Structure 1
């Protein structure tokens, strides 16, 4: 492989397209200073992708784009391609020629840029460039290109740094990186495999669980079929029971119909007697009328009419008395308010009269001042010129101001009146709100009273209560049925729990699980000591049919406790010593040694059913543990087979006879319940049974509580029925009176709500009117102020041009006129306010 050609376009000093062919072997490029020799090396470095632009003698990548020189414009992009001869495939690319191209394009702002990479004109990335070049041991930051000063730098650097350069050039560094990457991928793959194992084991457990569910489902289907048959039988029995009940009801109905016919006849007899009595009464009245004359009929009619009138007048009297009481209370408050208004009216009238007197006096004094001012004005007019014009203007302004004062006073008076109306409207709204609250309180009190009377009297809904009692009794019967079923379920759950509890005690007794082992396993369950796996018996399962053989062969070793390390075993032993507990055998997984079968066992293996460990299912990590327990114990079908091969090997028969390697034989009758068993303890099933007992007990207690509540409801309904049946007419009258009072307070509440709505509207109208009056007053006041300012300016000008003695007289009379005007205006404003208040009081009349 060698660099065959360099292609440039707008790179540094090379404007336009330039192709530089290179031959295999040694080749030199010569030229004068500044001709671009070094730029060719920069072009090669640029394609190889240095980490810093400084490696190609540039501050930024964009500095590499052809600047245009003195006569051309700057280029918008640049392209550099390195063409390699790759016939020897040193570059891992399946092509004889490999062209690596890097293209840089300026953005519109002229500062930023976009960089593109191509391999044989196919779009690529900088990462793919690096990977391809690294495989060929080419690097922009290495020493594939030796530039000025590089040799001196290599000679002066340390051995370690020089070794790194050699490793990089030779590819060792790349291989080391590949190895590190491969190791990382290996670790990741190992972690994934471990995760897959965990997931697989979880799926296997789920599969076993589903198989158990399948078995349970089959049992369920069989049970359901049995249940369907039982339900069908129950339905038949219920039908027969209902048929029998229907027959009894039919007989009872026939009996009631017979009694009803008898009662109808008795009713007809009573009705005939009543008709006869009515006729007798009519005849007797006719007889009395014949003897007493027509006056009797008249007296009788008058008596009936009088009774009706008396009842009507009594009701009207009670209503009138209530109205009179309300009117008297209102009258008292109204009279008190009238008296207050009268006193206020008198006070305001007196104040108004005094104000009028003061106003007349001030007006007279004001008129005198105005006359004096007029005399001075005539004297001023005689002087002629500007003074005369000013005097005329002041006279005109005085008239305008007088008119403006009257308008302003009217506006102020109207504003004051609007404020008074607003105050009265706010007071009316407050009174209406208070009346509404009172009506609400009375309504609430009447409603409460009606409810109390209704509760006391009770509704006349005997038919509804009867239906409710019947429904409650039906629900009671259903709950009693549920209670019976739950009692049966609880009994079954208790029996199951007792059975499992007895089996657990027997299993513990057989397996020899003493207190010491139980305490060690308790440490495992509570997490006080980590690393305890369990007993040998718990860590394996036995194929069916070999339970007796393996239980005898393992013996007491079944209660040995498996732990993870000898440190855990030492910690457990220290715990046993500290608590005075007996000895326990511990099997640390990190120290258990493997073993090999003896030659004799291997020789006779084919004549047996297999090693004892062949019939156990346990995790591979426990292989050394179960070798310790069984070693090369062989399992045979019968004692005869065992006798044929015994001697130098340990043998156990499927029925439990044990022959040691020494030749010792043990056998006899074995009770199944005395043999130690492999497999998980029965504690899980026992806990589940206890949970079932708790659930059944809680469900039963819930139903019993519901049954108690239902019976309480039945008793309450019976009491209500008896109370309604025993209510009298006085209670009914009391209820009617409470209803009438409630309806009256309801009407009063409606009236109060209407009054409040009207008061709110009046208040809003008063507010709007006040806003308008205030705006008008402000406008008239501003106009008056403008006129006064204009008059003041005219007077000030007149004071400047008038003679000295005339100026003094003008100023004196002007002050007097101003003071009198202020007094008159103030009094007029007070009179207006008093009139407005009197107007408000007149409206209240």
Structure 2
């Protein structure tokens, strides 16, 4: 796990100069007197981790963090803190075993951040630390008084702090966004509901307008048809008159034919002149239409080339300017480099002269030292033998004492090394066990992730299958609704059309309505003596149906009754009900003519009464209607029969009267006409079908909406499952990488344990050897001191003085040599600067300048070439312009000849007009006939234009047309059409658009309702996730608090309880504590010391929940007694096995539990740091 390995502080608060502190992974203690600067170490760690709140570091602004005293060089301008983090397990996203983070602040309060010496932003530092769970303002950094403030929190403040701690703000933000979406959805639903009410009213109004428009259009079409019948009749009359006038005019036109032949001769001359004119025109086109465009095209191409060359010339000029500017810059840089080279060479000369001078001084001192050595040697030779022996003994004793001190130092060094190796071995064994446990845990997690991924993939396959089925069903529903909508649109239009047709038929066909009413009453038995329609009482061959109906004059539908009274009673009923008129055949008063003899001949089929079969009772009625009518095959037979005095009818329904009248054309029987008019039952049935179809469409739309919502949910589920699989795969890969790292770490730890055990054995063996050697040297020193006591005499003063002079010379010689070494180092640096930087830079600039001059020469050559090309092209353009002028001159000559031929054509035209004038004067003789014909033609054209305007350009059949009946029907239709006011001609189109809009609004409201329900479900899901997340964290925190409080109080009980468990977020969190032998109570009602214990337990529980890599605690034991401090130290010692702790304390009990101890004290206004060995502190 990441931990603080080293902290370097420079000119920070009370620390002047550079101070280094090395920390171990376990429990590190910082102690010392009040005011010594202990808390400044925690401020330095906050500072380097990016803390911006100056109050947390106990200063007014960041510039006050700089040491305010005097340092070397004057007042400090910058404060700097660097922290080295152990990254062996790669907890930080940097591929280095040690990551160093630094921060500097100047007097203006500006900060700069560095990671491994590279400057970065504060955000980069915070992001790097956040990956390892490090926060400069987090709970893992506990400042002075924080524990006391925790004990004073209210229940609601404790709840708010816990929500912030476990990150519930994200859920609140998501819920707020969802509620905003919910409000927006509800607003849209209200707007859509209001709109759909308006649209519904609009639909009803447009439906009424659409029906009126359909009815109005049908009446207009019927009006146009009747008017067309009248106009067709008038057109036939006018065409007959025009035919006779045309014949008369034809005869008169023959008289002017000879004039036309003269005009044709003139036309021949005119064509010959036109031919010659065309030849000259073609010559003009060949000259001016072929060569001239080629010349113009070639001229345009050359001018374009010149434009491109001029652009290139301009670009070459721009490039030349750039090169010239760069040459000037290079010359300036070359001059600067040469100046720097000159200065460096001057400095090199000065240094070499100084080095020569120092060599001379050193040589002089060396000569003096040699002379002093020779003098001392002579003086020592002059001493008595005894004194020399004493000196020898003293020298040997000194050497032995030095040896003893070396042995003591070596033994102390080996003892420290042994202690360090033992501690390291203990830590490595602990790490080995932790890595082993981590490996087992990671292996289990990898298996869990594998099973989880397989389950999610299986679930994804199931959802995919369900989604595929849903898509097929959705497409089927969508197709069905679309087809049903099309069918509904057609059916609604058809219903409206049928209704309009039925209403018009009922208003126009008053006779038919009256007949239908009588038929209904007669069939129901309400009319005594009723027999039925004549056509229903007879039997005949179906191929005679047209002839019978056409020749009956309408009496074939007459109602046969028993007597005249019955007929009159029916007429009175029709008058009372105002249903119209009808025809009746009372059997008792009919006096039919005597049947004529049966005619014979080709094409004669027979008398109609002989061709039909009926009851003898109805014979009189049949004779009345068809008594003298003969059925024939064709018109020729009909004419023969009529000449014999019979009334004739053909199989096609053409009727020939005895008086000469004829009726015929395209016959449309009554049943065929009635078949075109929809029945009420059919209209009602179609209306019911339309309503049922609407219901089915609505059900289909609802099913479609439901299917769409289900598909969206399935798609969301697919996306969620895919994200879950990706998340599981990422987590599995992360765990796999962690497993590989743990395996590597385990192997490394095993190797380190073996190496440490070997080193420990070697160190212990060396310590034993040194102890034996020390004992022997001490015995020899005692013996030689006894011998000195016997030989002891005073040393001559001259010898002592000369030895002092020799020492002074040696000191001066050492200083000069050190100075000489510095000068030689500077000489080497200057030579490197000259050869490696300046000369190389000068050569580079000279080469660049040569290259630029060459490029400049190349540009000048290109400019010359481009200029020559431009001059050549201008010359070619002048040649082409001359050729173009010559062509234009030739074209002007040809135009003169063309103009002469045009004058000749004008003369021919004047002669032709003269002849035509003569022809016109001849035609004036026939002007009266022509004017009459013209008047009739205009009338005929107007009639045809009117017919075309009515939509009947070819007219209508007018045989057997009763103009009086047509005009009466036309008057009724016009009156009916006028009664329909305020017609909206766009009503049908608007109705379809508004109905479609109404359906879309309905769909939109359903979608909005689904969206609202989805948002509500999403809010409920957020609340569930928030509560689940909170309860997991709360339960873990409760367990941590109970465990730690029990350890701190030696068996006490501490609990965290929700004030409102049914709705945790509406209440707070109470903290209950029970010390051994006392009752349970709220923490706020306990004494100050008890509250401090509870606050520390709560704080440590939070830290254990957050699982930071290290913790910084500033005097959290200030209010605890010694017994509680002992237990707190045990808890911290236990926690330090998993994370690093740096604790500031004044308590000796806490110090004795430490793995490493630093003492901090104040000396002359500056904080000093002293590393205290653990053994010394425990002693």
Q: Smaller-chain TM-score range?
A: under 0.3
Greater RCO, 1 or 2 (C-alpha within 8 Å, sep 6+)? 2
- TM-score, normalising length from structure 2? 0.21
TM-score (norm 1): 0.28
